[in-house]
Structure 1
């Protein structure tokens, strides 16, 4: 086993001791990749007068239909005031439906409407297309490594959220 508990591939020993310059290039690659990853959805969102906060809310409501406002707050890491603004817009525009909890009347459970599902599909299709093309160009080993790097960069709480979504098989 290589340092950090990860099994190295032949010739990967040098990657365990990255220089500041190599790390800087990785950071910059993340910035530019994120810009590319969000560019297509940003254009779609702009046509509707929405931003990335709306996209994130739509994405996670789609992934966990019936999620509570508190759970969404935890996943997104935003203030209640900020999330309420986003949700109010999405509800008023007919993309999200808020239902009173059956067990706890204080809870609000969130669901996408047909219109919300259609927008989510359009946004996700654009991102899936970009990821599919990138994954195809680098091959399966790089895909596995990419996922491992992303998971290793997550804070423990976010990793738990990610694992829950991953395990739900949705």
Structure 2
């Protein structure tokens, strides 16, 4: 990032960002997200799925046995929207829904073998892109990038993220 034409940004100058510098950061985030989702979108499109399917598969993989209510909370979508996504994933043999042992009203979600293969394909594409970007940027940038992302999270989402991160 440059502070001005040809002048590298100093850490001190980054503490007082102009609206123009912030706009450039916002635009970089938009384009980076577009790149980050491009490969999974292509894979999902071949299967007739969208990003909501990807997010569901990702978080079910991340927390096998998670409940529908927990997934609703993580994804921040409506119950109707999630049910539509889950119904498709279950019908297509990618997700299995099991009745809770202690509370029979709960539904616990697990990826099937086919679901695990799809998740791996999607995450491999994103890991490859991130690995390449992180190698280009260097270790200090990786730490800084993660710090910025965490600082942008709403407190409740940061709490969920931290819980997932600690469960690794």
Moved over 3 A (4+): none
The Cα offsets for residues 125-170 of structure 1, whole Å up to 9 and x where unpaired, read as 000000000000010000000000000000011111111110011x
Q: How many residues align?
A: 160
**Residues in 2 aligned to 1:114 and 1:101: alpha-carbon distance in whole angstroms:** 21
The Cα offsets for residues 69-101 of structure 1, whole Å up to 9 and x where unpaired, read as 000000000000000000000000000000000
**Residues in 1 aligned to 2:13 and 2:46: alpha-carbon distance in whole angstroms:** 47
Point out where structure 1 has 5 or more consecutive residues left out of the alignment.
Answer: 1-10
Q: How big is the alpha-carbon RMSD for the aligned residues of Structure 1 and Structure 2?
A: 0.9
**Residues in 1 aligned to 2:115 and 2:108: alpha-carbon distance in whole angstroms:** 15
Report the counterpart of residue 109 of structure 1 in structure 2.
108
Shift of 1:13: 1.2
Shift of 1:14: 1.1
**Residues in 1 aligned to 2:138 and 2:164: alpha-carbon distance in whole angstroms:** 24
The answer to whether residue 156 in structure 2 is matched with residue 153 in structure 1 is: no
Q: TM-score, normalised by structure 2?
A: 0.94
Report the counterpart of residue 97 of structure 1 in structure 2.
96
Report the counterpart of residue 74 of structure 1 in structure 2.
73
Point out where structure 2 has 5 or more consecutive residues left out of the alignment.
Answer: 1-9
**Residues in 1 aligned to 2:23 and 2:112: alpha-carbon distance in whole angstroms:** 43
